[in-house]
Amino acid sequence: MKKDARSMRIALVDDRYVNPPPGAPDALTILAAAGWGVMQLPAPGYPAPLAARMLADIAQEIAEFHQHGYQLIILGQASCLASLLAEVGLPVPDQFLPDTAAELTQFLARMA
């Protein structure tokens, strides 16, 4: 089977990087170019019960990825994940809040 170029690298991405305001980095394009897969974290406007269920599901998926050796990072704020990851026995992945495309590109290069 042919390997996917994004294999083994997943970025958990805050909504502000998925739906950036004008002038903010286009994280999805940068991540794709660097060979990273993406999981979007719930947007701040989601109802709390829905966001909590989504985050619990994401934590379970992260645990599965971790078990299989995936490299994981977080772009943006994800303090809500810390306790959920602790429940599944995982530390919080490296987290970064880039302000520019160049900062994000440099961060991803260091993660390679």
Q: Are 15 and 40 in contact (CB under 8 A)?
A: yes
Q: Check whether 2 has a pLDDT greater than 70.
A: no
d(CA 13, CA 45): 15
Q: Could you identify the residue written with the tokens 């993660």?
A: 111
d(CA 58, CA 39): 8
Q: Parse the chain into domains and list their residue ranges.
A: 9-111
Q: What are the tens digits of pLDDT across the range 29-78?
A: 999 999 999 999 998 889 999 999 999 999 999 999 999 999 999 998 87
pTM, rounded to two decimals? 0.88
9-111 CATH? 3.40.50
For residue 35, give the amino acid letter: G
Q: Which pLDDT score, from 0 to 100, does residue 1 have?
A: 45
d(CA 33, CA 91): 27
Q: Considering only CA atoms, which of 17, 31, 39, 8 is closest in space to residue 109?
A: 31
Average predicted confidence (pLDDT) for the chain? 88
**Phi, psi for residue 9 in degrees, rounded to 5:** -140, 120
d(CA 72, CA 8): 8
Name which of 2-6, 31-35, 39-43, 98-102 the model is least confident about.
2-6
